[in-house]
Structure 1
Amino acid sequence: MSWMHIASKDFADAGRSMMLWALTVLLVLLVAGVSAIPYLLADGTTPTFEQALNFLFTPIGLLVPIIGLVVGYQAIVSERESGSIRFLLGLPNTRRDVVLGKVVGRAGVVAVPTLIGFLVGAVVIGALYDGFIVTDYLGLLVFSLIMGLVYVSVAVAISASVSSRAKALAGVLGFFVLFDFLWEFVPMAMYWAVEGNLPGFDGLPAWYLFVLRLSPGQALSALALTLIEFAGAGDLDLTAAGRVAGEVPFYLENWFAWIIVVLWITVPVSLGYLRFKNAILS
């Protein structure tokens, strides 16, 4: 049995435990249900596809990370607590196979309901809104899949690094609060230490925006701009080009966000594997 077999078994176990079906219902409600809200709130005029897409982006950006963390945080530590990890490693599997298989399996548990949700959502959005743009819709789907993979990878890495589910839960909660809610205060504190005052919205030094973009949520938001043409967002330029003082350095270009996102997938998993590799399994 290799990491592929571990991933396949993990995915099958999720289906038997009803997790897969519950997530499918949730993602269908999210994509199809939330995207219908602008149509239901419209006052006499038919909203556009761009309005539906813009409205859908925020709840996806909030819910998919939570789903990824919840799906992944018990992946390995629950096997350690139950003792089944010894059986898993008693077969011709390495600890690397376990970590990689769990990442792939749990990512599949998030990806399949996401695909189904977007498939149903495409029917609803196509029926309700004018001007369906396939490339932008597929861009939002790819963005959602990548986001799910990032947060699953982090959660499995935390799960591989600790010895109890309580510690894993504390780890993913701490990660989510720090990087998705509090991270913007990190460069703000650094700016205060250097400049002696709080930063404004624009005219910012490049290092400030780079530190801000180091969070997975910020990096993913920049990545989304390479996949989706957002319309009707107003005159406020939220990109690095609209906020940085002077020319935009290469590491603040939107394409560079792909590198940061790849690092958020690979680095936590590598660190989690190293912790798990050296762990004494009782």
Structure 2
Amino acid sequence: MSAAAVARKDFLDVRRAKIVWFVVGVYVLLTALFFVQVRLADAGGPDGPPAVLRALWNVAFVGAVFVPAVALVSAYLAVAGERESGSIKFLLSTPITRRDVVVGKYVSRAAVVAASLALAFAVAAALSAVWFGSLRTGTFAGIAALTTVYALAYVAVAIGISASTASRAQAMAAALGFYFSTNVMTLVDGMSALAALRYALNELLGLGVGEDATRFLGVLTNPTQAYLVAVQLAFPAGFMDLPAADGVAWYARPEVAVVVLLAWLVAPILFGLRRFERADIG
């Protein structure tokens, strides 16, 4: 038995989980509703941004909020659930390693999440073609690719959490804590950890740290912030008053955010695997 065998078995199990498909269904519905909203409002006019771009901008925003929920719900119990039930002991009694378990679980949960995103973007593509007569292929492909990487980064976080915890309650608490601190509070700027850091460095200590430096710290420590910066690459220059590339430091540019987002695919898995390999399963 190997990581591939673990992935196949786990995929069959997770696809029967109703809560996963409920969350996926809500995300697909929200994606469609954002297109409906732009279609009904049609406020761009001939001098405003094209409707399809505004709809895709909305898709990126709802993705920033909701994709992490889809990923975390799909994967946070992947290992911890089996540890609590005791079934992990049987799994490890076969010729597989703990690394096989973690990697296999990640592959299966990532496949489920990627499939849900493919469905959502298929709906978005159909609505774009029917309602707006244009798909804006470059922008659409860029958003789809970056959103998928973003989702898989949160799957990696969920698997890392699940491999690091011994019970459902611990995994749920850690997943909720991570979601609120890196997602919900990020979108409320005054409540975010980055806002607190900016206040401490500049207001309390008077260090005068620039906006680019604090922006980079946010990107480095927060996958949601990295996604929101990286997704700017998908849109044409000047859209929605996005900052020009030459107006920010190199380390605060969207290209760097993409690299950081890719790093989030690996780092949580390595952390969780290290903890899982040292855990006393009993």
TM-score range, shorter chain: 0.7 to 0.9
* Larger displacement relative to structure 2 (262-271 or 175-184): 175-184
Q: How does 1:256-275 map to 2 (within 5 A)?
A: 256-275=256-275
Q: Give unmatched runs, 5+ long, in structure 1.
A: none
For the residue of structure 2 that corresponds to 1:229, the secondary structure is coil
Backbone CA RMSD of aligned residues: 2.4
Whether the aligned pair in 2 keeps the contact of 1:2 and 1:93 (CA below 8 Å) is: yes
State the shift of 1:97 in Å. Answer: 0.7
Q: 2:33 and 2:238 mapped to 1: Cα distance? A: 21
Tell me if 1:229 matches 2:236: yes
Letter in 1 for 2:252: L
Listed as ranges, the matches of 1:138-217 within 5 Å are 138-180=141-183, 181=185, 182-188=192-198, 189-195=200-206, 204=210, 206-214=212-220, 215-217=222-224
Tell me the equivalent position of 2:29: 29
C-alpha offsets along residues 145-195 of structure 1, whole Å, 9 cap, x if unaligned? 111101111011011111111111111111122222123224312333431
Residues 103-118 of structure 1 correspond to what in structure 2 (within 5 A)? 103-118=106-121
Rounded to whole Å, the distance in 2 between the matches of 1:85 and 1:35 is 44
- Partner in structure 1 of residue 102 of structure 2: 99
- Please identify, of 2-11 and 187-196, the stretch whose mean Cα deviation from structure 2 is larger: 187-196
> 1:173-228 CA distances to partner (integer Å, 9 max, x unpaired)?
1112222212322431233343178x8xxxx2543222122211111122212334
Unaligned runs of 5+ in 2: 186-191
Tell me if the contact between 2:162 and 2:171 (Cα under 8 Å) persists in the aligned partners. Answer: yes
Match of 2:226 among 215, 219, 230: 219
Whether the aligned pair in 2 keeps the contact of 1:23 and 1:110 (CA below 8 Å) is no
Q: What SS is found at the alignment partner of 1:127? A: helix
Distance 2:244 2:223 in 1: 16
Q: Report the more deviating stretch, 114-123 or 149-158.
A: 114-123
Distance in 1, matches of 2:255 and 2:243, equals 16
Does 2:71 correspond to 1:68?
A: yes
Residues 1:238 and 1:70: Cα distance change in structure 2 (over 3 Å):
farther
Question: For the Cα contact (< 8 Å) 1:187–1:212, is it kept in 2?
Answer: no
Is residue 40 of structure 1 aligned with residue 43 of structure 2? no
> Does the aligned pair in 1 maintain the 2:139–2:235 contact within 8 Å?
yes
| Correspondence for 1:79 | 82
Q: Identity over aligned residues, as a percent?
A: 32
Greater fraction of residues in helix:
2
CA shift, 1:254, in A, is 2.0
Equivalent residue letter for 1:268: P
SS at match of 2:134: coil
1:10–1:228 Cα change, 3 Å? farther
Which sits farther off after the overlay, 124-133 or 58-67?
124-133
Q: 1:151 and 1:16 mapped to 2: Cα distance? A: 21
Quick check: 1:49–1:125 contact (8 Å CA) kept in 2?
A: yes
Shift of 1:72: 1.4
**Structure 1 SS opposite 2:280:** coil
The number of residues matched between the two structures is 270
